[in-house]
Amino acid sequence: MNLDSQIRELKGVGEKTETLFQNLGVYTVRDILLHFPREYHKFEQPKSVDEISEGTVIAVLGRIKKTPLVRRNGRIAVTSTQIEGREKILSLIWFRMPYLKNTLKPGMQYVFYGIVKKRKNQLIMEQPKIYTITQYQELSDSLQPVYVLTKGLTNNLVRKMEKQALESICLLDDFLPEKLRKIHDFCEYGQAVRQMHFPDSAYALKNARNRLAYQDFFEFILMMQMSKEQRVTAKNQFTFEENGIVEQIISKLPYPLTGAQKRTIDCIHNEMRGDYVMQRLIQGDVGSGKTIVAFLAMIDAASNGYQSAIMAPTEVLARQHYENFTQMCLDYDLDFPVILLTGSMTAKQKRDAYERMLLYPNALIVGTHALIQERAVYENLALVITDEQHRFGVRQRETLGKKGEKPHILVMSATPIPRTLAIILYGDLDISVIDEVPAKRLPIKNCVVGTEFRPKAYEFIEKQVKDGHQAYVICPLVEESENTEAENVTDYTKLLKAELPDVRIACLHGKMKPAEKNRIMEEFLNHDTDVLVSTTVIEVGVNVPNATVMLIEDAQRFGLAQLHQLRGRVGRSDLQSYCIMMNTSESKESKKRLDILNRSNDGFYIAREDLKLRGQGDFFGVRQSGEMEFAVGDIFADAGLLQEAAEDVNALLDKDPELSKEEHRALKQHMETYGEQLFEQLNL
C-alpha cells in the first residue's frame, strides 16, 4: 500500500464505506491521512446532574433507574430515559438506536457526553455518547479527535481507518527544508500528521498543528510566487476611449456614490486605459456597494465594444445580478445585451446563451461556474470579474481569464482581511478598499436575547411587515438528531405560520432544486412574500433592500464572520434595520462572542475582536473564520505563521529561485507533483 492507494485497500472498507468517504472528498490513503479532525474533545472529570447547565458540552455521571423507553415517531425509533440529581433531572434521548433498551442496564452508572439543551423547561441531551465508568476512565484527560462525518460514517470508524493508514504507511516525506523546520522548532511531517490524529499531549498537538498551518501557507505562497515569476505582466491590448457614458449613468443614479466607490471606479477607469492589464481586488464590507462598481466597469467595456463577464458563486446571486443589470440597462437607456449563463438552465436556454455570446461582442455576461465550462466561448472578452472571490479557486479565476486574450481582471471580496495579509494572500493583485458606507445608511440596531424573547421577536417581525417591510429568519443548525436540515426549516416555517397567520411566509433551503430556489428568492424580492425562513444559503450577496429584520436562531452556534455576513442581508437601504440574535446557550463564552457583534457592524473590527477572543480561548475549538480555508491554517488565528511563511518563501526564492539546490530537492519535487492540485483544492 502507498499514499496513492485507493482507500478500498484498507481493511474494513467495502464499497459502501468507500462511497461514504468519497462523499467527504476522501479517495486515497493520502486523503484519509490529511482528513484532520475538526476539533478535539477533552475528557474531563464527569459532573453530577446538579452541576449541569443549559448550553454546555459536558460529561455527566448518572445512574439509570428504569429500562429505557422506545417509542416511534413516524419511521424513527426514539429511545429515552432519565438520570436524576438532587435538584435537577436530565432527559436523555437517542434517535434510531432502539437497541439501547437492552444495552443500558437499570441500576448501572454511565457517563453521558453531549450538549445540554432546554426544551419545554426540561434539561435534555440528544444523542449523547455513552461510556461505562471504566471506558471513561481510560479516556479521561486525553484529547479525543472529532472528525467531519457524513451520515452512515461514525467517528470510531474514521479513527480506526486513520490508525490503519498510519500503520501501513512507513513514511511521509518531509519536503520542508530541514533548516526551516529547525528554526521554527517544528516536528517532522509524518510525526505532525500522526499527532493530529492521535495526540500524545496538548503540547505535541499544538506543535503539529502549527507546523501544518505554516506548511499550508508556505506551499501556497511558494506556488503563487513561482507562477507569478512565469506570468509576465501583460500589455493592455484593448482600446478604451473617453466616451462619458459611465459619468452619465453616475449622474442618473438614485444615490450619490460614496467617496470610496468613486475612487475605485476612477482607478478601474484609468487602469483599463493603462499600458498593462488591470489585476485588481476590490475589498468592501457587506453592503458597501461593490455591485455598482462592477456594473459600471462592465458598461465601460460594453460602450467600447467589448464583452465582459461576471462570475458569481451561486445561482441565486448570478440571477440577482442578471435582473439588476438588465433593469439598470433599461433604466438608463443602455442598448447592451445582458446574457445569463448558469448550470441549472435547460439545454436549449444554454444553447441560446452560447449563441448570443458569439453574436454580441459587447455583451454583459453574468453567470456561475457555467461561465468557465468548455462550451462557453466568448467574443472580444476584455474584462472578467469574480464576485465573492473566496468561493472560487485561484485556478477558476484564471480559467475565466483565459477565455479572453489577457483580459482585465477584477476580483470582489467581502472578507475583512487586514491589508498586510491581503498583500500576502493576493500577491498577484492590486488592492482597492471600499471603506465607506453610503451616507444615508442607518447603523443596524442589534440585540442578543434569550429564547423567552421569541414571542416578542415574532411580534416585532409582524409589526415591521405591517409597516410594509420584510424579514429573514435564519433557522438553527441541525445536529445529529432526527431531522435533516430541510425538515428542520420546513417544521420551523410551519410553526411560524401558526404564530403569524396574517404574514406571508416562505421557506428556503439548500436541498431545493435551483429553479425552486430562484422562484422563492424572486417572490421575496418582488415582495410577494414577507418573511423568508432560511438556512444559511442566503449568506452571501443576497440583496433585498426592503428587508429590515433578521432573526437568527441559535446565533451562538455560528462563527462571527458568518453571522456578520448573514446580518449584512439587512441594513441595505435608508430604512432602519434590526438584527435579533437568539442565544440559546447559557455559556459566558457565547455571550462574549455575540456581544462583539452587538457592539459593532464593522467587519474589520469584528474579525479583530474575534481573533483576540479566540487567542485567549481554547485553540482546540471549531474554526470560526469559515473563509479562505486551508487544510489546517487559519489566516486570522495564524496570522503570525502566515507572515513568517511569507518571509521564509521570499528569502528562499531570493537565494534559490529555481529550487535547484540539493537541500530543496524534495520541496521542488513536492511542488511539481502537488502544487497544481493544491491550488485547485484551495478554497481561496
Ligand X SMILES: Nc1ncnc2c1ncn2[C@@H]1O[C@H](COP(=O)(O)OP(=O)(O)OP(=O)(O)O)[C@@H](O)[C@H]1O
Q: Which is nearer to ligand X, 55 or 568 (CB)?
A: 568
Smallest gap, in angstroms, from Cβ of residue 502 to ligand X? Answer: 28
Q: CA 308, CA 328: separation in Å to the nearest integer?
A: 16
Angle at 601 (CA atoms; ends 595, 602), nearest 5 degrees: 110
Closest separation between CB of residue 641 and ligand X, Å? 28
Least Å distance between CB 470 and ligand X? 14
Q: Write out the three cell numbers for 210.
A: 502549527
Cβ contact 555:448 at 8 Å? yes
| Residues contacting residue 205 through CB under 8 Å, at least 6 positions apart | 40, 143, 195, 196, 199, 620
CA distance linking residue 548 with residue 228, whole number of Å: 45
Kindly tell me which of 255 and 276 has the beta carbon lying closer to ligand X. 255
> Which 8-state DSSP code applies to residue 532?
E
Shortest distance (Å) from residue 541 CB to ligand X? 4
* Number of CB atoms found within 10 A of residue 565's CB: 23
Nearer to ligand X, 200 or 331 (CB): 331
Cα(76)–Cα(57) distance, rounded to whole angstroms? 25
Q: Minimum Å distance from CB 295 to ligand X?
A: 9
Complex with ligand X: residue 361 or 418, whichever CB lies closer: 418
Nearer to ligand X, 367 or 633 (CB): 367
Q: Please identify, using beta-carbon distances, which residue of 57 and 442 lies nearer to ligand X.
A: 442
Q: Tell me the β-bridge partners of 386.
A: 311, 411
Cβ closest to ligand X, residue 418 vs residue 438: 438
Give 5's DSSP letter.
S
Nearer to ligand X, 37 or 568 (CB): 568
Interatomic CA distance for residues 80 and 164, integer angstroms: 35
Closest CA relative to residue 469, chosen from 577, 366, 396: 577
Q: Which of 92, 87, 89 is nearest to 110 (CA)?
A: 92
In whole angstroms, how close is the CB of 365 to ligand X at the nearest point? 18
Cell numbers linked to 566? 448573514
Q: How far apart are CA 454 and CA 458, in angstroms?
A: 6
> Least distance from C-beta 15 to ligand X, angstroms?
43
Strands (E), 321-376: 338-341, 364-367
CB of 418 to ligand X, least distance (A): 18
Q: How far is the CB of 286 from ligand X (least distance, A)?
A: 4
In the chain, the largest separation of any two C-alpha atoms, in whole Å, equals 86
| CB of 389 vs ligand X, minimal distance in Å | 11
State how far the Cα of 41 lies from the Cα of 59, in Å rounded to an integer: 10
Tell me how far apart the alpha carbons of residues 487 and 509 are, in angstroms, rounded to a whole number. 10
- Report the distance separating Cα 144 and Cα 59, nearest Å: 13
Nearer CB in complex with ligand X: 88/527: 527
Which backbone phi and psi does 308 adopt, to 5 degrees? -140, 155
Smallest separation (angstroms) from ligand X to the CB of 562: 13
β-strand partners of 533: 473, 507
Q: For binding to ligand X (CB under 6 A), which residues are involved? A: 255, 257-258, 261, 284, 286-292, 414, 438, 541, 543, 545, 568, 572
Give the integer Cα–Cα distance in Å for 488 and 533: 11
- For ligand X, the closer of residues 331 and 663 by Cβ is 331
C-alpha–C-alpha distance, residues 520 and 532, integer Å: 9
**DSSP 8-state assignment for residue 452:** G
Residue 41 or 290: the one with the smaller Cβ distance to ligand X is 290
CB nearer ligand X, residue 265 or residue 357: 265
Collapse the DSSP code of 505 into the 3-class scheme (helix H, G, I; strand E, B; otherwise coil) and give the result: strand
Residue 35, CA atoms < 13 Å, CB-side half-sphere: 26
Residue at grid coordinates 458598461: 299
Of the pair 288, 518, the CB lying nearest ligand X is at 288
Q: How far is the CB of 316 from ligand X (least distance, A)?
A: 12
Reduce the DSSP state of residue 341 to 3 states and report it.
strand
Q: What is the 8-class DSSP label of residue 647?
A: H
In the bound complex, what is the minimum distance in angstroms from residue 440's beta carbon to ligand X? 7
Least distance in angstroms from the C-beta of 171 to ligand X: 46
| Closer Cβ to ligand X, 476 or 568, answer by number | 568
CB of 166 or CB of 540, closer to ligand X: 540
Least distance (Å) from ligand X to the CB of residue 206?
35
| Cβ contact 283:457 at 8 Å | no
Pairing of strands 381-387, 408-413: parallel
Cα 652 from Cα 665, distance rounded (Å): 13
